[in-house]
């Protein structure tokens, strides 16, 4: 390509950084701030992405193959600079450059704010997928919303969660390119008119969707895809008429109304609240993305029947499920295709990933709201429903029922493949939420077990472990993660074990120093036990803290006993409206305050709860973890992805048979995994036992004593809502699983004391977890769902 011959600013990276500092930032090195250096470095690294990015776009165009479009309300990217530097193999050069200036390259990179455009697992999965699609050379675009404010900033006030605004875009940001030419008008409300034989939707309100592109570079710069995020802007920026009439605030109103759509990420993970603005956000980015996809298709082909051959659209949960009706609308109303053909074409393009079975998360919109906001889509949904009913008159499923439009069944029917995110979750999907649809459409449901990118979660986050592995087996593991198996024999080599142990110990020391800076002092020689994820009853942080209380009580009974020193680390946010989850946070902090201040036990047991968990904090915590808490009520965690990150980084899992834990245990071996708790069917049966919680409490004096301590006010407040819940219906079976959890926790302590054996088990976890690379997951989607081919430049 001709553009390739234009030289970059400066030949070496060092030159490029210096030149950007001077010419892009207008600073001299003697007055440059950390942020100036970070921006200069980011721009220099970004320059190196442009050629492979152009080349990938060109290669995808030349190939005339299928492109993949990943539609997601959330992309939880975190920082980009370190990832790009690692993938371009520039880390050593960068480290050296800053070293010679007395600066720490990691500090420079840590100046970058996290892009927190997601809640948790679903959003982080989308980010891992973007990186893996680039690494494996899958031609793809990510499509989402450019939220002005990502997930709220968490702080604690006397142990209670406080939410503050998140402001990533107000800080210097190097990665996006604004595309003023890629802009679409998106409508809401209004009327549907019949003009002859044409149906026309005349919206009452319109906003513009403007594209911002971020290049996503794969491992070794082999390929780069685009993340395209939409920002809402008004058609008329400023109402001069109102301004001239003296209405200064009113003059800015159209602008504010439009911009509200991409203002803020909804902070709920697995709950749905049916808000009007949320539906507007969903339609806004889905409609803009589809218009963009069709524009690109139209520029290359002229037969719309070819669409399924050239376009794969993946729906990340039902959030973009309006894509089904909208694509049908575009094909029928704007392109003149027959309705049934349009449905077939749309189905050929669409795939739908389900991420939870929790009933409170399944999206439903009232017919009234849908009619009001998207009148033509409501008509199309009725036509789709009628078509399905006609084909399956005996069906026992509804797309519109109880006054609500059900997005799950609509996404299911409009997709040619529907996938779950772990083996267990996919089987449960077939038996529960989609049992009837699975009967009517056998073979539509497939499994694609989640994965994580090893570039960020091992190579970037854990350089010590990475160096050790690369010294032993070369660096082929980075994009062929199952080659980690080659270190398995070294688990029996005591010098390798010592080196592995030393890497973990150094990671723990780093974390201890960091927590120290945040006012949490912990002993790096204690066992680091970590539970980090959104706070939710089904994830059972309260089971963990109850067990911690019980352990503390036994330690106090005999402080001279041979106790294993340990640090219990929690991190995670609760949805602002989820009162019970916020009570759990308060309880953990209250327990931490009492335990950490107890002179009898503070050398044995600490509880640390650093605030504002995000991707960057995860990158510090996971490499230092020795125990991974994966203790959800069986049947409730669709997959989990943190569990995979921990296992790869050599933490041993204590967990239930839930989500991907099942597959982790199979791969690492049952003897290298601390299993406890009821299975999914046992949980269902247990709930039927009358007074199951009261019985479980009565049967376990440790549990009873721990709950009594809470009720007695030992931790300040008495937390009545938690106690009442646990003594009452205890839907998530915390009480019934407590005894077995206690047993497994003590067995884990015994194992930990045998250092050689523990390290051997940790090495086996690393060696046998390579299958959880998101490269493997992406290849699965490409083969089973997308029918897309990998390309190279
Ligand atoms: C989410 O993070 C997950 C599911 C959701 O259902 C929504 C959000 Cl924001 C609507 C999580 C699952 O809870 C977790 O088990 C899974 O690993 C992750 O998605 C990615 O599949």
User: What does the alpha-carbon distance between residue 781 and residue 230 come to, in Å, rounded to a whole number?
Assistant: 25
User: What does the alpha-carbon distance between residue 680 and residue 670 come to, in Å, rounded to a whole number?
Assistant: 18
Task: Write out the catalytic residue numbers.
Answer: 355, 533-534, 539, 641, 645
Size (the chain), residues:
793
Q: Residue 249: what pLDDT?
A: 81
Q: Which residues lie with the beta carbon below 6 Å from any ligand 1 atom?
A: 119-122, 125, 269-270, 317, 355-356, 361, 421, 450, 637-641, 659
Partners of 188 in the beta sheet? 205
> Where does the pLDDT of residue 239 fall: very low under 50, low under 70, confident under 90, or very high at 90 and above?
confident
Nearest to 304 by CA among 340, 350, 336, 351: 336
309-335 in b/e form (b: 16+ CB < 10 A) is ebbbbbbbbbbbbbbbbbbbbbbbbee
User: What does the alpha-carbon distance between residue 52 and residue 54 come to, in Å, rounded to a whole number?
Assistant: 6
How far, in Å, from the CA of 703 to the mean position of ligand 1?
30
Pocket test for ligand 1, best of 121, 274, 421, 428 (most atoms within 8 A of CB): 121
Model confidence at 716: pLDDT above 60: yes
Segment 616-640, tens digit of pLDDT = 999 999 999 999 999 999 999 999 9
> Where does the pLDDT of residue 172 fall: very low under 50, low under 70, confident under 90, or very high at 90 and above?
confident
Phi, psi at 98, each rounded to 5°: -75, -35
Q: Which atom of ligand 1 is nearest the CA belonging to 534?
A: 2
User: What does the alpha-carbon distance between residue 168 and residue 178 come to, in Å, rounded to a whole number?
Assistant: 16
- Ligand 1, atom 3, lies closest to the CA of 122
296-307 in b/e form (b: 16+ CB < 10 A) is bbeeeeeebeeb
> Where does the pLDDT of residue 333 fall: very low under 50, low under 70, confident under 90, or very high at 90 and above?
very high
Q: Residue 252: what pLDDT?
A: 80
Pocket test for ligand 1, best of 356, 362, 363, 429 (most atoms within 8 A of CB): 356
Q: Residue 6: what pLDDT?
A: 53
Sign of the C-alpha dihedral, residues 424, 429, 435, 436? negative
How far, in Å, from the CA of 220 to the mean position of ligand 1?
30
User: What does the alpha-carbon distance between residue 609 and residue 159 come to, in Å, rounded to a whole number?
Assistant: 10
Q: Residue 696: what pLDDT?
A: 98
Mean pLDDT of 63-76: 98
Q: Residue 256: what pLDDT?
A: 83
> How would you class 728 by CB atoms within 10 Å of its CB: exposed for 0-12, middle for 13-18, buried for 19 or more?
exposed
How far, in Å, from the CA of 628 to the mean position of ligand 1?
18
Model confidence at 484: pLDDT above 80: yes
What whole-number percentage of the chain has pLDDT above 90?
Answer: 94
> Where does the pLDDT of residue 136 fall: very low under 50, low under 70, confident under 90, or very high at 90 and above?
very high
How far, in Å, from the CA of 539 to the mean position of ligand 1?
12
Q: Which DSSP string corresponds to 715-774?
A: TSS--HHHHHHHHTT-TT-HHHHHHHHHHHHHHHHHHHHSHHHHHHHHHHHHHH-GGGBH
Model confidence at 1: pLDDT above 60: no
How far, in Å, from the CA of 611 to the mean position of ligand 1?
21
User: What does the alpha-carbon distance between residue 127 and residue 316 come to, in Å, rounded to a whole number?
Assistant: 12
**ipTM > 0.95, yes or no:** yes
Q: Residue 3: what pLDDT?
A: 54
- Ligand 1, atom 4, lies closest to the CA of 355
Q: Mind listing the domains of the chain with CATH numbers?
A: 1-63+83-113 (no CATH), 64-79+114-450+778-786 (3.40.50.2000), 458-772 (3.40.50.2000)
Question: For all residues of the chain together, what is the average pLDDT?
Answer: 96
- Ligand 1, atom 20, lies closest to the CA of 122
Judge whether 515 and 608 are in contact, CB under 8 Å. Answer: yes
Q: Going by DSSP bridges, is the β-strand pair 417-420/350-353 parallel, antiparallel, or unpaired?
A: parallel
Q: Which residues contact 429 (CB under 8 A, 6 or more apart)?
A: 354, 357, 418, 420, 438, 445
How far, in Å, from the CA of 559 to the mean position of ligand 1?
41
Exposure of 372 in the CB half-sphere (CA atoms within 13 A): 9
Q: Which atom of ligand 1 is nearest the CA belonging to 319?
A: 10
Model confidence at 262: pLDDT above 80: yes
Q: What would the two tokens of residue 361 be?
A: 């998360």
Q: Which residues contact 362 (CB under 8 A, 6 or more apart)?
A: 272, 318, 406, 407, 408, 433
Pocket test for ligand 1, best of 126, 269, 419, 433 (most atoms within 8 A of CB): 269
Mean pLDDT of 255-283: 92
Exposure of 572 in the CB half-sphere (CA atoms within 13 A): 26
């Amino acid at each position: 390509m001709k553009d390739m011959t234009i030289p970059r600013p400066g030949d070496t990276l060092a030159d490029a950084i210096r030149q950007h500092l001077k010419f892009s930032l207008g600073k001299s090195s003697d007055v440059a701030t950390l942020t100036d250096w970070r921006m200069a470095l980011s721009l220099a690294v970004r320059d190196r992405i442009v050629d492979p990015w152009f080349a990938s776009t060109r290669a995808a165009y030349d190939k005339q193959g299928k492109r993949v479009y990943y539609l997601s309300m959330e992309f939880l990217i975190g920082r980009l600079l370190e990832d790009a530097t690692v993938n371009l193999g520039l880390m050593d050069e960068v480290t050296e450059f800053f070293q010679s200036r007395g600066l720490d390259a990691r500090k420079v990179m840590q100046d970058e704010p996290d892009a927190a455009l997601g809640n948790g697992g679903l959003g982080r999965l989308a980010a891992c997928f973007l990186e893996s699609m680039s690494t494996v050379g899958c031609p793809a675009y990510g499509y989402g919303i450019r939220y002005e404010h990502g997930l709220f900033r968490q702080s604690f006030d006397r142990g209670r969660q406080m939410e503050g605004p998140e402001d990533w875009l107000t800080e210097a940001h190097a990665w996006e390119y604004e595309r003023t030419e890629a802009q679409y008008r998106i409508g809401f409300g209004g009327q549907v008119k019949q003009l002859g034989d044409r149906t026309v939707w005349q919206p009452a309100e319109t906003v513009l969707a403007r594209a911002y592109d971020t290049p996503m570079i794969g491992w070794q710069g082999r390929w780069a895809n685009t993340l395209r995020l939409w920002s809402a802007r008004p058609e008329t920026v400023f109402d001069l008429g109102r301004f001239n009439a003296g209405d200064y605030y009113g003059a800015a109103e159209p602008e504010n109304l439009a911009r509200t759509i991409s203002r803020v990420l909804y902070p709920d993970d697995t709950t749905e609240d049916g808000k009007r603005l949320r539906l507007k956000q969903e339609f806004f980015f889905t409609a803009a993305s589809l218009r963009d996809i069709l524009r690109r298709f139209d520029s290359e082909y002229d037969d719309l029947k070819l669409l399924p051959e050239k376009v794969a659209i993946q729906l990340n949960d039902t959030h973009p499920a309006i894509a089904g009706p909208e694509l049908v609308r575009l094909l029928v109303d704007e392109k003149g295709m027959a309705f049934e053909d349009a449905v077939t074409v749309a189905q050929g393009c669409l795939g739908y990933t389900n991420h939870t079975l929790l009933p409170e998360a399944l999206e439903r919109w009232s017919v009234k709201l849908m009619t009001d906001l998207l009148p033509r889509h409501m008509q199309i949904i009725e036509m789709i429903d009628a078509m399905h009913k006609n084909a399956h008159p005996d069906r026992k499923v509804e797309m519109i029922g109880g006054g609500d439009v059900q997005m799950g069944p609509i996404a299911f029917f409009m997709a040619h493949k529907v996938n779950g995110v772990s083996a267990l979750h996919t089987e449960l999907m077939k038996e529960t939420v989609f049992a009837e649809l699975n009967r009517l459409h056998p073979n539509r449901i497939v499994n694609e077990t989640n994965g994580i990118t090893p570039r960020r979660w091992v190579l970037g986050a854990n350089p010590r472990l990475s160096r050790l592995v690369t010294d032993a087996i070369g660096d082929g593991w980075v994009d062929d993660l199952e080659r980690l198996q080659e270190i398995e024999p070294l688990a029996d080599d005591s010098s390798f074990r010592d080196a592995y142990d030393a890497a973990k110990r150094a990671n723990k020391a780093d974390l201890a120093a960091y927590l120290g800076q945040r006012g949490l002092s912990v002993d790096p020689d204690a066992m680091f036990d970590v539970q980090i994820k959104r706070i939710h009853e089904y994830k059972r942080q309260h089971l963990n803290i109850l067990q911690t209380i019980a352990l503390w009580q036994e330690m106090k009974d005999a402080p001279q006993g041979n106790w294993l020193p340990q640090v219990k680390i929690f991190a995670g946010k609760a949805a602002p409206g989820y009162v019970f989850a916020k009570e759990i946070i308060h309880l953990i902090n209250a327990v931490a305050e009492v335990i950490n201040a107890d002179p009898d036990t503070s050398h044995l047991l600490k509880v640390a709860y650093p605030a504002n968990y995000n991707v960057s904090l995860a990158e510090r915590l996971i490499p230092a973890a020795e125990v991974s808490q994966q203790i959800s009520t069986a049947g409730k965690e669709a997959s989990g992805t943190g569990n995979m990150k921990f296992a790869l980084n050599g933490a041993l899992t204590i967990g239930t048979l839930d989500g991907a834990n099942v597959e982790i245990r199979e791969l690492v071996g049952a003897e290298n995994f601390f299993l406890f708790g009821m299975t999914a069917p046992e949980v269902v049966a247990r709930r039927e036992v009358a007074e199951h919680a009261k019985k479980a409490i009565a049967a376990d004096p440790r549990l009873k004593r721990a709950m009594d301590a809470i009720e007695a006010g030992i931790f300040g407040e008495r937390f009545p809502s938690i106690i009442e819940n646990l003594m009452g219906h205890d839907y998530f079976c915390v009480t019934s699983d407590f005894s077995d959890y206690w047993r497994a926790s003590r067995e884990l302590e015994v194992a930990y004391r045998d250092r050689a054996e523990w390290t051997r088990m940790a090495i086996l976890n690393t060696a046998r977890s390579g299958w959880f690379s998101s490269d493997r997951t992406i290849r699965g989607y490409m083969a089973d769902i997308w029918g897309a081919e990998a390309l190279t430049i």
